[in-house]
Amino acid sequence: MNRNIFIIITLISAACLWSCRPYTPTPRKKGYFKLEMPTEHTYQKFSMAGFPFEFEYPHYAKITQDTNLVLQEKAPYWINVSFLDYNATIYLSYKPITAADPLEKLIDDSYRLSYGHDKRADYIESEQIQTPHNLYGVKYQIGGNAASAHQFYLTDSVRHFLRGSLYFETVPNADSLAPAIRFLNEDMQHLVETLKFR
């Protein structure tokens, strides 16, 4: 009987000592908010009088124009395709090809602006593009924590040049922005394919 009491007291004492260890928390993985995105992409036409181009953009986006920048740069055809739900914008800057702004200079400027992200980018891939409307250009995919994930330029190589870049109004984090970048890249691709110069 004494032996049973001794075993019970020993087990209770061991359980008490074992349970009195300090709590060591286990670190949790970093999580991100889930973005609710439309199940399908639907588009509307941007065709404003006086503008030298037209294209299709998503119904959940809004066209805006920074009037201060337009006056400062003397560029009335610079517009933004804003995605308010995603805190993202595709900045579109149009320039006519002139003697003061020849095609080579505009292409070099676009290259310089795209590769300006190489300090923060993991990689920059460029791809030659040709649209169904006989426009030519280059699309840049910028990987990593760069400020802009996708950029492009399109030209008819005679009169018109349009440059676009996708930016998020937040600290760049490739992991958390990846779903939104993939989703908005489809819209950017549709814009490129439907762009026409007038």
Tens of pLDDT, residues 155-194:
999 999 999 999 999 888 888 888 889 999 999 999 999 9
CATH of the domain at 128: 3.40.1000
Please check whether residue 37 lies inside any domain of the structure.
Answer: no
Using the predicted structure, report yes or no on whether residue 87 has a pLDDT greater than 80.
Answer: yes
Lowest mean pLDDT among 2-6, 141-145, 151-155: 2-6
Residue 122 lies in a domain: yes
Domain span including residue 168: 43-197
Share of the chain above pLDDT 90, in %: 57
Classify residue 47: in a domain, yes or no.
yes
Q: Which residues contact 197 (CB under 8 A, 6 or more apart)?
A: 52, 53, 133, 135, 156, 159, 160, 162
Residue 138: inside a domain: yes
Residue 35 lies in a domain: no
For 185, left (φ over 0), alpha (ψ -120 to 50), or beta?
Answer: alpha
Any domain includes 36: no
Residue 9 lies in a domain: no
5 confidence band (pLDDT: 50, 70, 90): confident
- Residue-wise pLDDT for 123-148, tens only, equals 999 999 999 999 999 999 999 898 89
Q: Select the more confidently predicted residue: 188 or 6.
A: 188
Q: Which two tokens mark 91?
A: 């900045």
Counting the structural domains of the chain, the total is 1
Asked whether residue 52 is domain-assigned, the answer is: yes
